[in-house]
Amino acid sequence: MVQRQPAVEALLHHLQTEIAQLPHLAVPEQQTRPHITLSFAQTIDGSIAARPGAPTRLSGDLSSAFTHSLRATHDAILVGIGTVLADNPRLTTRSWDGPDPRAVILDSSLRTPLDAALFDRSSPGPIILYDQKFDQKTELPFRAEQLNQRGATCLATSVGDLSVVFSTLHEHGIASILVEGGATVITSVLEAHLADYLAITVSPRMLGGFRYAGASAALERPGYHRLGDDLIITGAVLWQ
């Protein structure tokens, strides 16, 4: 049993209340994609890692627990294959007492290693979205079969088009998804204007490291919450 943290619980409650009030969530039957929360950790100079492919811990213990609490309140968590190869994450809620979300990996050419840590989870295996245009002419169907035998569900789709990605996930029963990174995926989501809510952990340091590219947006009713030494900035996204 993980020790509960009142400050994290209060922030999670605040976010859940805010997210439930988002206008597009009011009519669930009209939704064609999941609710999308974008959440990652960055330094004050906008770095999300020291350099590409370098695992870099940016969050303190409390903000890590907060991230895990967010995971527990979404149906799925999405990262790109770059993050799987760099960090070998398990994408679980290990520092929060809650269910693990389904892991979703964007991985055009099925580079996910068969011994990736995300297969060591008690919850259903990951959904791996790969590029359908390779499906007929390469060895990918064989690779997909190998990954499926490890517990994955490999789906061929237009993985470069996030609208298609999210509607495919919605068709597979995912109503809410937490997008965590890395830089390329964050950039794609921002460029496609496909985040409903943001929860960014800002660590009080600079790295001059690996950054995402932004988009023009503002936060509605922004929240500034301190957890340990970190600042968590939250709000509904207003695209501009």
The count of residues interacting with ligand NAP (CB under 6 A) is: 33
Among 162, 177, 178, 199, binds ligand NAP (CB under 6 A): 162
Of residues 172-201, those binding ligand NAP (CB under 6 A): 180-185, 188
Dump the DSSP string for 181-205: E-HHHHHHHHHTT--SEEEEEEES-
Stretch that binds ligand NAP, among 7-15, 28-36, 101-109, 213-221 (CB under 6 A): 101-109
Residues within window 48-67 making contact with ligand NAP, judged by CB under 6 A = 48-49, 52-56, 58
Examine residue 110 and tell whether it contacts ligand NAP (CB under 6 A): no
Q: Which of residues 66-95 bind ligand NAP (CB under 6 A)?
A: 79-83, 86-87
Which residue from 124, 160, 173, 204 is in contact with ligand NAP, where contact means CB under 6 A? 160
CB of 103 to ligand NAP, least distance (A): 13
Q: Does 214 bind ligand NAP (CB under 6 A)?
A: no
Nearer to ligand NAP, 80 or 235 (CB): 80
Please give the backbone phi and psi of residue 104, each rounded to the nearest 5 degrees, phi first: -125, 130
C-beta of 25 vs 211, nearer to ligand NAP: 211
Residues in 129-148 that interact with ligand NAP by CB under 6 A: none
Peptide bond into 182 cis (omega under 30): yes
Closest CB to ligand NAP among 25 and 164? 164
Minimal distance in Å, beta carbon 85 to ligand NAP? 8
Q: Which residues bind ligand NAP (CB under 6 A)?
A: 40-41, 48-49, 52-56, 58, 79-83, 86-87, 106-109, 111, 159-160, 162, 180-185, 188, 210
